[in-house]
Amino acid sequence: MQATLSIIGIGPGDPDLLTIKALKILRHCPVIATPKASQHGHSTALSIVRQALPAGDIDGKEIVELHFPMKKIHLGQEPDPEVLQAWQEAADKIFTVLSQGRDVAFPTLGDPAIYSTGYYLYATILERHPEVRVQFVPGISAMSSCSATTQTPICLGDDMLAVIPATFSDSRLRQILETFDTIVLMKVHRVIDNLIALLSELNLLDRATLVERVGMADERVLADLSALDGQVHYFSTIIVRKK
């Protein structure tokens, strides 16, 4: 039978937030391909999977490590050659396993539909091997989990919602902050100082809440961003809710 690649959303950190479907597939897949941001670092996705699976379940599995450098991607523009090469190497490694008839699970943080490497991997594999069978399993997004932790809705009634990577700090960011009712800012860590200045200028500081490492052991919620001292972790999301 043809092997399947499962691209699985595993939630943002709390292992109890994996869906039953995600767990079932991860338990039965002989190979787990794990994304890592740095060549010698560890995979957060794998550590969440390890906590979620019953003890010993992961021992007999093959772990294939995939390195994805953290670089900006502008849709419609050719990605950085290092990024392109990483996607191609990852696709090749996964295809090698699939062509041996073994299923592969690719766990990705949050939901694969939201700023996830999962879809780049999917496109790269299918471009070279259109016959490959792929399934997506949705997961709980970081913003959903941040909303639950802070007991704040993301949108209600006729609210308009924008979800954006804050790294694109061009004029669109200001315009979006002025236009929408709720704005979810992701990837805020490298631009946090500029972001706080902009939120302050727009009188939105007291409407913004930052959640760092939601669902993880060192989770932090900051309702008053003017009190922020120092930098924030990559796993940080800001929800600006104007109403």
Ligand X SMILES: C[S@@+](CC[C@H](N)C(=O)[O-])C[C@H]1O[C@@H](n2cnc3c(N)ncnc32)[C@H](O)[C@@H]1O
Q: Residues in the site for ligand X, rule: CB under 6 A? A: 12-13, 109-111, 114-116, 141-142, 146, 186-187, 211, 213-216, 234-237
SS3 breakdown of the chain: % helix, strand, coil, rounded to 5? 35, 20, 40
- The smaller minimum CB distance to ligand X, of residues 13 and 31, is found at 13
CB of residue 179 to ligand X, shortest distance in Å: 21
CB of residue 19 to ligand X, shortest distance in Å: 13
Q: Residues 210, 222: contact at Cβ < 8 Å?
A: yes
Give the Cα separation of 67 and 82 in Å (integer). Answer: 11
Residue 120: phi, psi to the nearest 5? -70, -40
Q: Residues 81, 48: contact at Cβ < 8 Å?
A: no
Residue 108: phi, psi to the nearest 5? -135, 145
CB of residue 218 to ligand X, shortest distance in Å: 10
Longest dimension (CA), the chain: 59
- The smaller minimum CB distance to ligand X, of residues 104 and 195, is found at 195
Q: What is the distance between the terminal CA atoms of the chain, rounded to a whole angstrom?
A: 53
- The smaller minimum CB distance to ligand X, of residues 65 and 102, is found at 65
CB of residue 49 to ligand X, shortest distance in Å: 15
CB of residue 117 to ligand X, shortest distance in Å: 7
- The smaller minimum CB distance to ligand X, of residues 114 and 132, is found at 114
- Closest CB to ligand X belongs to which residue? 110
Nearest CA among 209, 148, 145 for reference residue 183: 209
CB of residue 68 to ligand X, shortest distance in Å: 10
For residue 108, give the DSSP letter. Answer: E
Q: Which residues pair with 241 in a beta bridge?
A: 182
- The smaller minimum CB distance to ligand X, of residues 121 and 214, is found at 214
- The smaller minimum CB distance to ligand X, of residues 58 and 222, is found at 222
